[in-house]
Amino acid sequence: MVFRPVLSVLSVLILGLSALSSAAYAQLSGHGGPVRGVAVAPDGQRAVTTSFDYSVILWSLDRGEANAILHGHEAAVNAVVVLPDGQRAATAGDDGKLIFWRFGDTQPARVVEAHAGRIVALTLSPDGKVIASAGWDGSAALWSTADGSLIQRFEGHQSNVNDAVFSPDGTMLATAAYDGIIRLWNLADGRLLREMTGHEFSVNALAYLPDGALLSGGSDETVRRWNTATGEETSRRIAHKGPVLDIAVAPDGKGFASGGIDGMVRLWKAGEEKPVHALAGRGGPVWALAYTPDGKRVLAAGNDSVVRLWDAATGQPLGDSGGEPVETAAVTAAAPQDKGAAIFRRCGPCHTVTADGGNRAGPTLHGIFGRKAGTVEGYPYSPALLDSDIVWTAETIGDLFTKGPDVVTPGSKMPLQKLVRQEDRDALIAYLRQVTTP
Ligand code: HEC
């Protein structure tokens, strides 16, 4: 991993979230963990992103500024669609919930218990009235954008469903599953029309071209094209080194973008076998892609918590989107020779340590020693921490990482992570004491 020494810790911490506006169309930095979903509003002015850090961020795209951080999910948030009115969005995550948001409000407008397992993808119907969700409970489902009610559920997948997309005429739903099979369903009567096989492993992403051809991306590194009328595979290309994670079709329908676990974004022309551009974001796996409505820019959601913007015509990064990996403040703060600091890199994406560092996915750890659990003002704790009598000390923090948050604070939304070695815990606690004590 390459570190960028010039990125001073202080400047990053002081800049904070709202002030991270730089050049127009720069990258979007604000999440505290991998970004899993990205969508752009119809007016092209706003974007919504979702992250492993449990949060949803509403961005002003032209200024690269976070306008609101929305908390409502109780787990990683994987998918987002902006509704056609441009005033609402729906998000879904590992908590199986489908949450509707109205821009300007900080509380969810509606929370729907949508799947019995994690939801990994959402898509909007061509008329904008229906949302399709893909779940790891082995089902896909359709929801009304008007009132969030369930319209239909498609079962009969033998495995996790990774994506669900509407045909351009709105009469069919295609689903992609972990078993490598693409299934085509008739929306009018819910009947399974066809199974399309060919992918060797999991199918991760689907997208229709306007002419009705279906594109699929899989863990077998390929993007394939299908004639859904006959079920035939009509073309295939090796798109990435490793699994293809997402596909987005350009608004004019003449090309598409693919993102992969190899950290690359590739831009393709619909009929050509070689990519037009290969964009190296250096942010690790690219989990999600979206075009702006004018087709001029591509947004790529990165594993390093950053959303990068690219010029779709030239393949050039916009703002500071290319170049070296951007490390979070906490990572940069870690002097490599200090073991505790090195271990704290696991915490840094979600926790700051200074008085003015603010909250990320987790509350600031400033003054953590002697602090009662769940008491940072303004941070949306889970009831588990709000109701806890724990006072954080070397011992109780140590417990958190031997027994795990699920035992020490049952119901906590801090993800499970254990430090099994005593020396690692000691080093972490010594480091925390040093950097969090006021
Ligand atoms: C992916 C995000 C994430 C990571 C990584 C993470 N935490 Fe947390 N942490 C949270 C969240 C979210 C909460 C609040 C939990 C709640 O409200 O239930 C939290 C709460 C805490 C608390 C209790 C704070 C309080 O005010 O009561 C401590 C202490 C803590 N984390 C320490 C750590 C340490 C040390 C690490 C690294 C070894 C770490 N966390 C890694 C997300 C994270």
- pLDDT at residue number 26: 65
346 lines ligand 1 (CB under 6 A): yes
- pLDDT at residue number 324: 39
281 lines ligand 1 (CB under 6 A): no
- Decide which of 251, 278, 311 is a domain's last residue: 311
CA distance 327 to 306: 10
Check pLDDT > 70 for residue 6: no
119 lines ligand 1 (CB under 6 A): no
Question: Are residues 145 and 85 both part of a single domain?
Answer: yes
Q: Looking at ligand 1, which atom is closest to the CA of residue 388?
A: 27
- pLDDT at residue number 152: 96
Exposure on the CB side of residue 277, measured as CA atoms within 13 A: 17
- pLDDT at residue number 16: 35
CA distance 60 to 49: 11
Query: 414 CA to middle of ligand 1, Å?
Result: 5
| Chain centroid to CA 98 | 15
347 lines ligand 1 (CB under 6 A): yes
- pLDDT at residue number 83: 98
How many distinct structural domains can be found in the chain?
Answer: 2
Work out the average pLDDT over 381-402: 92
- For 311-370, write each residue's pLDDT tens digit: 999 998 886 544 433 333 333 333 446 788 877 866 775 788 988 878 877 899 999 999
- For 12-50, write each residue's pLDDT tens digit: 333 333 333 333 456 888 887 899 999 999 999 999 999
- For 161-192, write each residue's pLDDT tens digit: 999 999 999 999 999 999 999 999 999 999 99
Question: Are residues 304 and 347 both part of a single domain?
Answer: no
CATH number of residue 286's parent domain: 2.130.10.10
373 lines ligand 1 (CB under 6 A): yes
31 lines ligand 1 (CB under 6 A): no
Q: Name the one residue in this structure whose structure tokens are 């942010």.
A: 283
Answer yes or no: is 316 within a domain.
no
Query: 351 CA to middle of ligand 1, Å?
Result: 7
- pLDDT at residue number 416: 58
* Residues spanned by the domain of 81: 17-311
Q: When comparing pLDDT for 235 and 406, which is higher?
A: 235
Answer yes or no: is 320 within a domain.
no
CATH number of residue 421's parent domain: 1.10.760.10
Query: What residues are paired with 46 via a beta bridge?
Result: 60
Question: Are residues 302 and 335 both part of a single domain?
Answer: no
Work out the average pLDDT over 107-134: 97
Query: 417 CA to middle of ligand 1, Å?
Result: 10
Ligand 1: which of 351, 353, 371 to mutate, most ligand atoms within 8 Å of CB? 351
Phi, psi of 220 (to 5 degrees): -85, 15
- For 211-249, write each residue's pLDDT tens digit: 999 999 999 999 999 999 999 999 999 999 999 999 999
Query: 198 CA to middle of ligand 1, Å?
Result: 43
Model-wide pTM > 0.85? no
